[in-house]
């Protein structure tokens, strides 16, 4: 399967200051970038923020190639959004919107590139602990996020495979030949992942001491 390095960068082992920074600080940077995208109204500020995020990413040792790989898949979308906004609201607004989206993507990539997935899950579990009183299971919450992160590259890879096979049959212009197989593959993948998790006893509610019921 191809197309599996989609959007988010896998963990790159290292000992840089960004790697060693506390998880809460990295979370805060990602959340801050997300909020800033609503608050920043000057494209120059957004550009400065992007330069800062790129500098942070590169200081982790993850490299320019990984940075470009993280951004590349959304470039066509950014181009379309940028052109539309430029036509509707002018150049400065279009530049601000595009730059703010890039800031968010790079900030999220810094988090995933410098934090092992298990550390990330531990952090999510800690954040979700207060919701236990409302019936939430922090471990399931973390597992859901992990599976979401894992599923994005799979679906991107499935799309890439289906597009190749559609091309081979001369059907690349037929939307049904692209959408339907990706949809079916994704549903099958979801079922297989569910079976795999169930077989490993992962994501089951409650403690290890009580027992659940099998499904037919």
Quick one: which of 51, 55, 91, 150 contacts another protein (CB under 8 A)?
Answer: 150
**Spatial distance between the Cα atoms of 197 and 190, rounded to a whole number of angstroms:** 10
- Terminal alpha carbon distance of the chain: 31
Q: Is 122 near another protein (CB under 8 A)?
A: yes
Q: Which residues in the 102-121 window bind another protein by CB under 8 A?
A: 116-119, 121
Q: Of the ranges 9-17, 50-58, 91-99, 161-169, which one interacts with another protein (CB under 8 A)? A: 9-17
**Spatial distance between the Cα atoms of 189 and 48, rounded to a whole number of angstroms:** 41
Q: Is 193 near another protein (CB under 8 A)?
A: yes
CA–CA distance from 103 to each of 45, 86, 116, 156 (Å)?
11, 19, 21, 22
Q: Is there a contact between 103 and 36 (Cβ–Cβ < 8 Å)?
A: yes
Quick one: which of 65, 169, 173, 200 contacts another protein (CB under 8 A)?
Answer: 200
Quick one: which of 74, 78, 147, 178 contacts another protein (CB under 8 A)?
Answer: 147
Q: Of the ranges 56-64, 96-104, 164-172, 208-216, which one interacts with another protein (CB under 8 A)? A: 208-216
Half-sphere exposure of 88 (CA within 13 A, CB side): 10
**Spatial distance between the Cα atoms of 10 and 111, rounded to a whole number of angstroms:** 10
Quick one: which of 32, 34, 61, 153 contacts another protein (CB under 8 A)?
Answer: 153
Please report where in the chains the tokens 């973390």 appear, as a residue. 142
Q: Is 211 near another protein (CB under 8 A)?
A: yes
- Which residues are CB-contacts of 54 (< 8 A; sequence separation ≥ 6)? 67, 106
Q: Which residues in the 11-30 window bind another protein by CB under 8 A?
A: 11, 13
Q: Which residues bind another protein (CB under 8 A)?
A: 1, 4-5, 10-11, 13, 116-119, 121-122, 139, 143, 146-147, 149-150, 153-154, 157, 189, 192-193, 195-202, 204, 208, 210-216
């Amino acid at each position: 399967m191809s197309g599996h390095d989609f959007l988010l960068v896998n963990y790159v082992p290292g000992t840089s200051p960004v790697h060693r920074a506390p998880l809460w600080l990295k979370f805060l940077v990602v959340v801050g970038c997300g909020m800033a995208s609503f608050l920043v109204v000057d494209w120059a500020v957004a550009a400065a923020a992007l330069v800062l995020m790129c500098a942070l990413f590169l200081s982790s040792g993850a490299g320019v190639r990984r940075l470009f790989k993280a951004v590349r898949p959304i470039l066509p979308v950014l181009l379309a959004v940028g052109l539309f906004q430029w036509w509707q609201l002018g150049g400065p607004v279009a530049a601000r919107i595009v730059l703010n989206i890039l800031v968010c993507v790079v900030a999220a990539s810094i988090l995933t590139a410098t934090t092992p997935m298990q550390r990330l899950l531990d952090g999510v579990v800690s954040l979700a602990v207060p919701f236990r009183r409302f019936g939430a299971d922090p471990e399931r919450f973390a597992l859901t996020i992990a599976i979401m992160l894992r599923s994005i590259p799979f679906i991107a890879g499935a799309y890439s495979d289906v597009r190749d096979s559609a091309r081979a049959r001369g059907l690349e212009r037929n939307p049904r030949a692209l959408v339907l197989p990706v949809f079916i593959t994704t549903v099958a993948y979801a079922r297989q992942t569910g079976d795999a998790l169930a077989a490993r006893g992962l994501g089951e509610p409650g403690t290890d001491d009580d027992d659940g019921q099998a499904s037919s």
